[in-house]
Structure 1
Amino acid sequence: MLAILADERSSGEGEWAVAMRDWQDARIRKVVRRARGAEWRRASALPGITVTGETAVVRVFPPVPLDEVPKDLAKLQVTGTDLEDPEELPAVEGGVPVLWVNPGLTMSTGKTMAQVGHGAHLAWFELSDADRNAWAASDFSLAVRTATLTQWKKLLTSGSPVVQDAGFTEIDPGSFTVVATTGNGS
């Protein structure tokens, strides 16, 4: 998500700029899907950006209205992707944005991924251009953690960006799902 926000094609007169502006001026919807083999090759042929991490390869596509999602993306699912942390997570380095997940909600992996993506999106807009450039230079380093109930209560009143779900899937409308702390004091 962050790679497409930072991409020059998404701003000014870039080829995706109008779609990005229209998407951000409306209620932001995010969809997370999984593809392998031939499905991945078909999805990779569509306009977008591929980001390679330590353990995953992700493709981000410019936004389109829900009824215009390309056929090769619409049929993909994220079902069966269960992520578990087998070990204690390391401490978060200072200055690294943290996306805090609500401990009181039960969400599927795909739903959680979409909510965290939205949190990263909101964090992006909290930053100055210099901070955005620094974040991009760090390959968008961030941490995702599930807050404790005590942390969650504090985070909701911290002034940090909060993702509020519209309730189209899985959870009740108006649920707060993620709080984004940017690592620059907020």
Structure 2
Amino acid sequence: MSSPFDLPPQQPAAPAVGGHAEDRDTRPQYVLPLVVRLERTDPPARTDALETSARAVLTLLADPRVTEPDGEWAERVAAWEDARIRKVVRRARGGEWRRAGELPGITVTGEHGAEVRVFPPIPLDGWPKELAKLQVSGTDLDDPEPPGPAPEGRPVLWLNPDLEMSAGKTMAQTGHAAQLAWWELDDDRRAEWAADGFPLAVRTAPAAAWPALTDGHLPVVRDAGFTEIAPGSCTVVAEAGTRR
């Protein structure tokens, strides 16, 4: 069974996020805000949050407000993709979450209840006050139980087994990986994946398998190094479920 992540033979993956810095840095800079709902008494499981963040990015990219030439968000997304592809994950609970939900955006719910709201890109220094006051730190999440093998045939976003990142940072990275995979697809495969609800899985790669995953045949996220990890670190690889 084919997967929407499958690439034509010998086709190289898209450039990693943050590439061509000499060009991207001279353009107006935008950021894609993502907000994860993090209630004190019922936080989401880590893997569910990571997968939901990736699906939220894909849901925005497939939204008619982005894909239609005269779409309400199309110009902002184009400007964001022309510069560095920045994503920032913040957390909200209670009234903060309700107020964030009143801003234009899309809320995506995970298979196990995680909730992530994605907003159209904003200027780097132009955060709405409802989002600007939300905290970036404090998104350390756990899985109650190990997630187990990825479902058969489902695209997998493989995490670097040698890096330690907060859940918020990792959510941004899985969003990056999903976006790189999206860029590789033609319109028919994008429509197929969207119609299925963007099924995917996030797992930590076995240490022995990581070198082969990063050999240049699959989309790889190389972080710009603004927070937590060194510039150029390979964080996530997007692989078709049929290639596991």
Structures share a fold, TM > 0.5?
yes
Which structure shows the higher helix fraction? 1
Offset of 1:90 from its aligned partner?
3.3
Distance 2:184 2:243 in 1: 11
Higher relative contact order (Cα pairs below 8 Å, separated by 6+ residues): 2
Amino acid at match of 2:223: D
Aligned to 1:180: 238
Amino acid at match of 2:62: A
Amino acid at match of 2:192: A
> Does the CA-based 8 Å contact 1:123-1:182 persist in structure 2?
no
Give the superposed CA RMSD: 1.7
CA displacement 1:6-62 (0-9 Å, x = unmatched): 000012210000001111111100011111111111111111111223312221100
Distance 2:145 2:100 in 1: 33
> Does the CA-based 8 Å contact 2:140-2:167 persist in structure 1?
yes
Offset of 1:78 from its aligned partner?
4.3
CA displacement 1:144-186 (0-9 Å, x = unmatched): 0111222110100151111111111111111111111134659
Amino acid at match of 1:16: W
1:159-178 to 2 correspondences below 5 Å: 159-178=217-236
The TM-score with structure 2 as length reference comes to 0.71
Aligned to 2:109: 52
> Does the CA-based 8 Å contact 1:2-1:120 persist in structure 2?
yes
Amino acid at match of 1:114: A
Amino acid at match of 1:20: V
Amino acid at match of 1:181: E
Offset of 1:81 from its aligned partner?
3.0
The alignment status of 1:142 with 2:203, answered yes or no, reads no
The TM-score with structure 1 as length reference comes to 0.92
> Cα distance 1:185–1:25, how it changes in 2: closer, same or farther (>3 A)?
farther
Offset of 1:94 from its aligned partner?
3.5
SS in 2 for 1:32: strand
